[in-house]
Chain A
Amino acid sequence: MATEKFITIESSAIPLPIENVDTDQIIPARFLKATTRNGFGENLFRDWRYDKTNKKIDSFILNNSKYSGKILVGGKNFGSGSSREHAAWAIADYGFKVVVSSFFADIFKNNTLNNGLLPVQVTDNFLKKIFDAIEKDAQTKLHVDLVNQTITIKATGESEKFDINPYKKTCLINGYDDIDYLISLKDKIEAFEKKS
């Protein structure tokens, strides 16, 4: 699906300083029975957010009104486990535009990019600085610039470069996705079919 164009974002962030957050935690298997991409945000981190009686667990960060924003900051090895794309959908559906971590699982990273969600991989050191800044001020702002591939902590002015595949970057900036691109190759695909 063509996604919203992505150039820069400035927002406060929600910190989740836990390592190895797997896709089963992001969206448990029992919520995979939906037939649309929408509504998964409701069950994002379901078993951390709600107890067995569906009561909100106050101590979980998403239930703490002090924190808000379009950027999710996770610990190392974020998104491991099952390849379910529903994990990326849940995060995007909840309202996040950017996920920051010091390491992402391969397939998860691919899935985020396919859904207009930007994975920003930073160094362990910079990740710690972000967590520290948020701890000092829950509403501290992060600035993400996709064109220049930088992420900046506004309060301190500290900044770091991040990597992104040039093809994927073009897709995000122009708000088009792989399918738009593939559709544009129609003639090439047909020629390929004739040849083989």
Chain B
Amino acid sequence: MNKKTLFDKIWDSHVVAEVEGGPSVLYIDRHLIHEVTSPQAFAGLDKRGIKVARPSQTFATPDHNVPTIDQHLIIRDELSRTQVEKLTENCNRHSVNLFGLGHPWQGVVHVVGPELGITLPGSTMVCGDSHTSTHGAFGAVAFGVGTSEVEMVLATQCIMQPKPKKMLIEVNGKLGKGVTSKDIVLYIISKITASGGTGYFIEFAGSAIRGLSMEARMTICNMSIESGARGGLIAPDDTTFEYVKGREFAPKGADWDKAVTYWKTLKTDEGASFDKVFSFEAEDIEPMITYGTNPGMGCKISATLPTGNDLTDNDKNTFLKSFAYMGIEPNTKMLGRKVDYVFVGSCTNGRIEDFRSFAAFVKGKQKANNVVVWLVPGSKQVEKQCIAEGIDKQLAAAGFELRQPGCSACLAMNDDKVPEGKYAVATSNRNFEGRQGPGSRTFLASPLTAAAAALTGVITDPRNFL
């Protein structure tokens, strides 16, 4: 029998047609949209005089642009306000599910999808946002697309895509104290580089991955694209089914039983082949932090930074340019560097588990005076749960406050901008030049490392507190 990988099984079962000399026509089960990359797609439909083909399969929520305080007030930035209003108007006109500002289900698209059971094992899912890879944690084929493709899905529920190559990344063994899934993925990208995954779809496997919660798995798949990959996925198992069960848009009753029976078949066949395989040991991973201007420029928090002397001239120039932007010298240490801002949030680390672990970490201690700390829940439901569990009070006692849900300082399209030249420890996913505001400098790390920096005002090994 033809042996297939998990990715093949899902992809192949969604191909509607093959185009000669071209890409596959792929059926999309569920589609997420937000205010920034959808307005032009709706305008395209209007121009053609057509309606959204399957409105019940598209789900919308504003996130990229929204303010994270006073969300009940009108949005002050006129352009942001127009985009959010346009989203509402388009969704209403086309009967698309919308969780608008103030709605109990509003939040960052990739946090909302899983928590509502919109994300399901074995499904195909796209969104006009590169971090759609997050949903792969459920054993779905999920990836980001451009606005033309958003329009294709709205118009026909299909897109045209060439099939990517397949990569397997195994992580085996037991994670050390203070080491999180964020550290796993930063470690992987530092090893395979920010372009090492280009052209591939990654399957993550191995005992260290199996042992992770759904939230932690999402963090890994979320950042799979920072290696250049099209997306990442993890075979569904009991942890997955338990998470999905009972959620709003998940199957119920007999449908549920039928679905689980099918989902249990979703794993890579023994002996199926991958185009590329990597294997890592969990014991080798420590709390990680990035020092440069792409997510591949990361190291163990206690390490001495590279000199770049082993690089070719061209690469060394890029390397030094990055250090100059960051205001950092090669061959120095990250530990002890001053931090001005701490951002906990985004579709990478803005889930309930992240706030639980941050709150537990800072309990009984106090925020450092020199840092501004933005704690931004990934969704309204995360915010609500923080309040229900008393996390907001624990945080307040340590000098922190929770903001309201949105992408916030992950891409700084709203007012949450890190000022020019300032340093931020961020739990988000990109440390590009100017990503958190013009001239901002970003160190990517886990919520625990962010908490340690928030308490001490400098880069600190979180294990010192554990």
Closest to B318 in A: A20
Q: Are A183 and B16 in contact (CB under 8 A)?
A: no
A114 CB-CB contact with B under 8 Å: yes
Q: A179-B151, A189-B156, A189-B157 are in contact. Are A111 and B146 (CB under 8 A)?
A: yes
Cα separation A85 to B39 with both chains bound (whole Å): 13
Contacts of A165 in B (CB 8 A): 21-22
Closest to B77 in A: A33
Q: A167-B20, A167-B22 are in contact. Are A36 and B156 (CB under 8 A)?
A: no
Contacts of B40 in A (CB 8 A): 35-37, 85, 89
Nearest Cβ distance between residue A172 and chain B, in whole angstroms?
Answer: 13
Contacts of A32 in B (CB 8 A): 36, 413
Q: Are B146 and A107 in contact (CB under 8 A)?
A: yes
Nearest Cβ distance between residue B146 and chain A, in whole angstroms?
Answer: 4
Q: A178-B160, A185-B25 are in contact. Are A1 and B83 (CB under 8 A)?
A: no
Cα separation A177 to B156 with both chains bound (whole Å): 13
Q: Are B155 and A1 in contact (CB under 8 A)?
A: no
Closest to A114 in B: B148
Q: A29-B411, A35-B86 are in contact. Are A111 and B80 (CB under 8 A)?
A: no
Contacts of A33 in B (CB 8 A): 36, 65, 79-80, 82-83, 413
Cα separation A183 to B199 with both chains bound (whole Å): 28
Cα separation A114 to B48 with both chains bound (whole Å): 16
Contacts of B13 in A (CB 8 A): 196
B322 CB-CB contact with A under 8 Å: no
Interface membership of chain B positions 252-281, coded 1 if the CB is closer than 8 angstroms to chain A and 0 otherwise: 000000000000000000000000000000
Q: Are A178 and B148 in contact (CB under 8 A)?
A: yes
Cα separation A7 to B199 with both chains bound (whole Å): 31
Contacts of A179 in B (CB 8 A): 44, 48, 148, 151-152, 155-156
Interface membership of chain A positions 157-190, coded 1 if the CB is closer than 8 angstroms to chain B and 0 otherwise: 0000000011110000000011101110110110
**A185 touches which of B37, B146, B149, B156 (Cβ 8 Å):** B156
Cα separation A27 to B438 with both chains bound (whole Å): 14
Cα separation A85 to B151 with both chains bound (whole Å): 12
Contacts of A29 in B (CB 8 A): 411, 413, 434
B202 CB-CB contact with A under 8 Å: no
Cα separation A118 to B388 with both chains bound (whole Å): 55
Cα separation A37 to B38 with both chains bound (whole Å): 11
Cα separation A127 to B268 with both chains bound (whole Å): 45
Nearest Cβ distance between residue B211 and chain A, in whole angstroms?
Answer: 33
Closest to B145 in A: A83
Contacts of B155 in A (CB 8 A): 179, 182-183
Q: Are B17 and A185 in contact (CB under 8 A)?
A: yes
Mark out the residues of chain A between 133 and 172 whose CB falls within 8 Å of any chain B CB in the assembled complex. 165-168
B158 CB-CB contact with A under 8 Å: yes
Q: A115-B148, A189-B158 are in contact. Are A35 and B82 (CB under 8 A)?
A: yes
A11 CB-CB contact with B under 8 Å: no
**A168 touches which of B22, B47, B413, B434 (Cβ 8 Å):** B22
Mark out the residues of chain A between 11 and 58 whose CB falls within 8 Å of any chain B CB in the assembled complex. 24, 29-30, 32-37
Closest to B23 in A: A167
B19 CB-CB contact with A under 8 Å: yes
Contacts of A82 in B (CB 8 A): 130
Cα separation A185 to B156 with both chains bound (whole Å): 9
Q: Are A167 and B16 in contact (CB under 8 A)?
A: no
Q: Are B79 and A167 in contact (CB under 8 A)?
A: no
Cα separation A10 to B16 with both chains bound (whole Å): 39
Q: Are A183 and B156 in contact (CB under 8 A)?
A: yes
Nearest Cβ distance between residue A171 and chain B, in whole angstroms?
Answer: 9
Q: A85-B148, A166-B20, A188-B16 are in contact. Are A36 and B39 (CB under 8 A)?
A: yes
Contacts of B20 in A (CB 8 A): 166-167
B27 CB-CB contact with A under 8 Å: yes
Closest to A166 in B: B21
Q: Are A85 and B17 in contact (CB under 8 A)?
A: no
Nearest Cβ distance between residue B245 and chain A, in whole angstroms?
Answer: 22
Nearest Cβ distance between residue A124 and chain B, in whole angstroms?
Answer: 15
Mark out the residues of chain B between 76 and 120 whose CB falls within 8 Å of any chain A CB in the assembled complex. 79-80, 82-83, 86
Closest to B86 in A: A35
**B146 touches which of A30, A83, A181, A182 (Cβ 8 Å):** A83
Cα separation A26 to B241 with both chains bound (whole Å): 44
B287 CB-CB contact with A under 8 Å: no
Contacts of A193 in B (CB 8 A): 27, 157
A110 CB-CB contact with B under 8 Å: yes
Cα separation A185 to B198 with both chains bound (whole Å): 30
B298 CB-CB contact with A under 8 Å: no
Cα separation A111 to B159 with both chains bound (whole Å): 13
Cα separation A85 to B149 with both chains bound (whole Å): 10
Contacts of B25 in A (CB 8 A): 182, 185, 188
Nearest Cβ distance between residue B392 and chain A, in whole angstroms?
Answer: 31
Interface membership of chain B positions 212-231, coded 1 if the CB is closer than 8 angstroms to chain A and 0 otherwise: 00000000000000000000
User: What are 7 A-B pairs at a CB distance below 8 A?
Assistant: A107-B146, A110-B146, A166-B20, A178-B160, A179-B44, A185-B158, A189-B16
15 more CB-based (< 8 A) A-B contacts, given A32-B413, A193-B27: A1-B44, A33-B36, A35-B83, A37-B40, A83-B146, A85-B40, A106-B198, A106-B199, A114-B149, A166-B21, A179-B152, A179-B155, A181-B160, A182-B159, A193-B157
